[in-house]
Amino acid sequence: MGRVRQARKTTARRSGDWQEFQLIDWIRQCTQNQAIRREIHIGDDASSYRASGTMNELVTCDAMIEDVHWSWDWCDPRSLGYKIVAVNLSDIAAMGGIPKRAHLVLALPWQQKKAVVQPMLRSLIKTLNRHQVVLAGGDTVFSSGPMMITLTLQGEVAPQEMLLRSQAKEGDLLFVTGDLGAAAAGLDLLKQYKKVPSHYTVLTKKLLAPIPRVEAGRLLAHSGKVHAMLDLSDGLAGDVRHLAKASQVGIRLYTEYIPIALATRVAARHLKKDPLFYALCGGEDYELLFTASPKYTSEIFRLVQDKAKLSCHIIGQVVNKRQGIYQILPNGSRAPLPAGWQHPA
């Protein structure tokens, strides 16, 4: 692991003797008794509450810190502006929502040049505009620390269409959009090369410019055929665990059906890495992971492949909680899922 990923591992995911998900669980427990809890859901990709009228309001927030989530060695200002919007859009997409308004908090080092900030903000605003999202407010501050950019994104969804992580049902099939592991391979390439060979651009683009699956998320939510959904940001192995825990189910994953692009496989061989490790543990794929009854398989494929023009794959099945979370290897044997870097022992 390189410096940047290592920094993320220790700084973003662990703080002192806490791990990130332990901290989130503790906050959730502390707020369990709030009187308004019945109308507010936390723990999904976005929080939601019933606003006035007929729609649920969705709110999500993502922060990115220099030398933790990006390094200027391999990320340009325009990519940063795009990506902070894309990762937030992905969370709204995971709930089946329509993005509406954004608030930006920018913490800039004193010496930060206009030549960095302006293209970053132009790209951010252009990306918001493309999704008809209004930049409604925020704050800018200067600090002696590294640069930090935080975007809060609000969206809305009809209550009956909102998709949570907690509704997966035993017997459901597990679907995923796109392919996995490309962003992680792209990160390794960017750390290895000053100029990444052009035939790997498809991988670095997946890291620097992920496409949020807003349209597919809306189509799936509106169809009423999907039980549970989330976006893949922590690596398939980590996010499958989130789904299983929230839904109180087990998951059987078929390793050979996990979609990995040829470019990811070629790069993995070149970098002497396992492409499956990239797909299971790499993170930052920003694809959709969802469950639905097998009887809706052709309808799901029609929506994702024909309407949203995305590839779609069945990679596993929802099983009873007692069976746990595991993978079936190509030779038919059963193996535990790797923990990956998100869940250090």
Among 66, 91, 188, 234, binds Mg ion (CB under 5 A): 91
Closest distance to Mg ion from the beta carbon of 94 (Å): 5
Beta strands (DSSP E) in 222-310 are 226-231, 250-254, 288-292
Where does this chain touch Mg ion (CB under 5 A) — which range of 12-20, 87-95, 166-174, 284-292? Answer: 87-95
Part in contact with Mg ion (CB under 5 A); list of ranges 42-50, 145-153, 188-196, 236-244: 42-50
Contact range with Mg ion by CB under 5 A, out of 72-80, 225-233, 278-286, 332-340: 225-233
Q: Which stretch binds Mg ion (CB under 5 A): 16-24, 89-97, 117-125, 316-324?
A: 89-97
Residue 179 sits in the site that holds Mg ion (CB under 5 A) = no
Among 44, 45, 57, 172, binds Mg ion (CB under 5 A): 45
Smallest gap from Cβ 117 to Mg ion, in A, equals 27
Given the complex with Mg ion, which of 45 and 156 has the nearer CB atom?
45
Type and span of the H or E element at 188: helix 182-192
The residue whose two tokens read 């859901």 is 41
Going by C-alpha positions, the residue among 27, 7, 28, 10 that lies closest to residue 19 is 10
| Closest chain position to Mg ion (CB) | 45
Dihedral sign (CA 2, 7, 63, 81): negative
HEC string of 114-182?
Answer: HHHHHHHHHHHHHHHHHCCCEEEEEEEEEECCCCEEEEEEEEEECHHHCCECCCCCCCCEEEEECCCCH
CB 190 within 8 A of CB 203: no
* Count of residues touching Mg ion (by CB under 5 A): 4
Question: Of 56 and 233, which has the nearer Cβ to Mg ion?
Answer: 233
Rule CB under 5 A: say whether 44 interacts with Mg ion.
Answer: no
- Using a 10 angstrom Cβ sphere, with 0-12 exposed, 13-18 middle and 19 or more buried, the burial of residue 76 is middle
Q: How far is the CB of 227 from Mg ion (least distance, A)?
A: 17
The residue type of 204 is T
Binding site for Mg ion (CB under 5 A): 45, 91, 231, 233
